[in-house]
Amino acid sequence: MKLKHKNYKSTTLNRFDLLGNDEIGLSKAFAYLLSIEPNILYRFLRDIGIFINQTESNYLNTTIEIERKREEGRTDIEIKQHGKFHVIIECKVGKNRINKQRTQYLESFDNEPQKVLCFITQEHDCNREVSNDIDIFYRGWLDIIDFVGSKDFERSEIIKEFVGYATRGFKMRDQKEVLIQDLSDPDEIDRYINCRVYRRDVTFGSPLYFAPYFTRKASRDEGEGVCYLSKVLGVLTVRSEELSSFKDELLIYSGNDSEQVSRWLSGVDQNSTKDPYTYYFLAEPVKLNKPLLKDGGNKKGRGKGWIAAMIPKNRCVTFEEFARRMVLAN
């Protein structure tokens, strides 16, 4: 790693860049930030359901540890206050997904009143394992960066360095923008229109927006094509009977709108099965003036950057291209 380039007066790197561009480095950087910035620590603890007073006494009695070796494995970050709480955090970067860690550390918790297992991933991996006495939270690195980099903390130099390290070194802003998928089943269309929920087979990743493509078979009054655009507020992969265990997170997704949460729960209950599905919890759909259609014909390269023929699973387009198509349609 070159620290200083020719003709530069000093290094262009910050202290966190020295940790390298892997998930071990990022987890260490986040743990260090939690240990040096009490405001960030307590903001994070509140976000995962631990509500304790932000006092000097509580901060002095809190320990933060990295790479703790246990019989079950080595944890990334542990936060603990004896007699109050114990948090274990597992970090993933890129397309690395949580596998055995979902249950690996359930026996690693000390006997504290509140136990929390938190997974922080780049792909918004939201598969769930339910434990009766352990609260389980899933967060994306974008969520962490957003609250760390908020105006409340913008004056802190070390926070600026952490945000720069995470966004530059790990391409955290390279998030899929608009997911477009064919939608023809009447039940799924009703789930989307009336309950603001999109259900699909288990998948990973979280786009910013969802835009269903109503097929000709759907025979919708709006016509064939993309007729609506919905902001994705949250994504969970669960069995329908498990969803009630995550009402607190649904409230967070909805901005504490209980009516919205009730609508989502109703949408998940429709035609429910015992199989796990990935559910997108959506804001109120925005209706487009005219439907957006697929690129037609057989010309080579058709659909590049857009959609054509059968839309593949997880087809995402940029918001810029989506807006361009809206302008062309009008």
Task: Return the pLDDT at 181.
Answer: 95
Average pLDDT over residues 78-86: 96
Average pLDDT over residues 189-205: 89
Whether residue 54 has pLDDT greater than 70? yes
pTM: 0.63
Weakest-pLDDT range from 12-21, 100-109, 132-141:
100-109
Number of neighbours of residue 130 by Cβ within 10 angstroms: 12
Q: What is the pLDDT of residues 17-47, one digit of tens each?
A: 888 888 899 999 999 999 999 999 999 999 8
Q: What is the rounded CA–CA span in Å between residue 87 and residue 61?
A: 14
Task: Return the pLDDT at 18.
Answer: 87
Task: Return the pLDDT at 171.
Answer: 64
Whether residue 294 has pLDDT greater than 80? yes
Q: Which residue has the higher pLDDT, 130 or 116?
A: 116
Weakest-pLDDT range from 210-214, 217-221, 246-250:
246-250
